[in-house]
């Protein structure tokens, strides 16, 4: 139970922010928090709480897997790359052909979630393809 106490502020924040299908499980001395965030902002807020409890994520005792859920389909998402443009690919994988780009800080439309790593998106120029979820922040 010690881990649940350590991260209780995070679990509370997730509950208050309306994270759906929230699961908090402890297994082999690691706490797993899973769920679906309504927006990318909520996800970032939770990670900020995580980082304040465990600075630089050093402890290795938490797996926070709260991502924007599939029901964000249809919403807009901001391209949150460091500075470069985001590759839009033919399929969900870095080995897939690049068929377009989404500009840094531009918006794309989320069409459907392929898996935890990839979203099918439509860029502002109309190209449809797969983009890495880690660089998309759903509004």
Q: Please tell me the count of residues contacting another protein according to CB under 8 A.
A: 33
CA distance 103 to 105: 6
> Which one-letter DSSP state was computed for residue 39?
S
What is the Cβ-side half-sphere exposure of residue 138, based on CA atoms within 13 angstroms?
Answer: 26
End-to-end CA distance of the chain: 34
97 binds another protein (CB under 8 A): no
Candidates 2, 57, 112, 125: give the one binding another protein (CB under 8 A): 57
Please report whether residue 78 would count as binding another protein according to CB under 8 A.
no
Give the rounded distance of the alpha carbon of 139 from its chain centre. 12
Q: How far apart are CA 36 and CA 118, in angstroms?
A: 15
134 binds another protein (CB under 8 A): yes
Sole window of 1-9, 13-21, 26-34, 119-127 interacting with another protein (rule: CB under 8 A) = 26-34
Query: Which residues contact another protein (rule: CB under 8 A)?
Result: 23, 25, 27-28, 30, 32, 43-44, 47-48, 51, 56-58, 60, 63-65, 67, 80-82, 84, 93-95, 116-118, 132-135
């Amino acid at each position: 139970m010690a881990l649940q106490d350590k991260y209780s502020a995070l679990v509370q924040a997730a509950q208050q922010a309306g994270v759906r299908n929230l699961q908090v499980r402890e297994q082999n001395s690691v706490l797993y928090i899973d769920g679906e965030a309504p927006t990318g902002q909520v996800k970032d807020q939770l990670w900020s709480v995580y980082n304040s409890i465990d600075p630089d994520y050093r402890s290795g005792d938490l797996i926070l897997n709260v991502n924007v859920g599939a029901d964000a389909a249809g919403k807009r998402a901001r391209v949150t790359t460091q500075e470069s443009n985001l590759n839009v690919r033919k399929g969900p994988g870095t080995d897939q052909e690049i068929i377009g780009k989404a500009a840094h800080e531009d918006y794309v439309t989320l069409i459907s979630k392929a898996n935890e790593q990839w979203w099918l998106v439509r860029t502002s120029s109309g190209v449809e393809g797969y983009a890495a979820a880690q660089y998309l922040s759903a509004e």
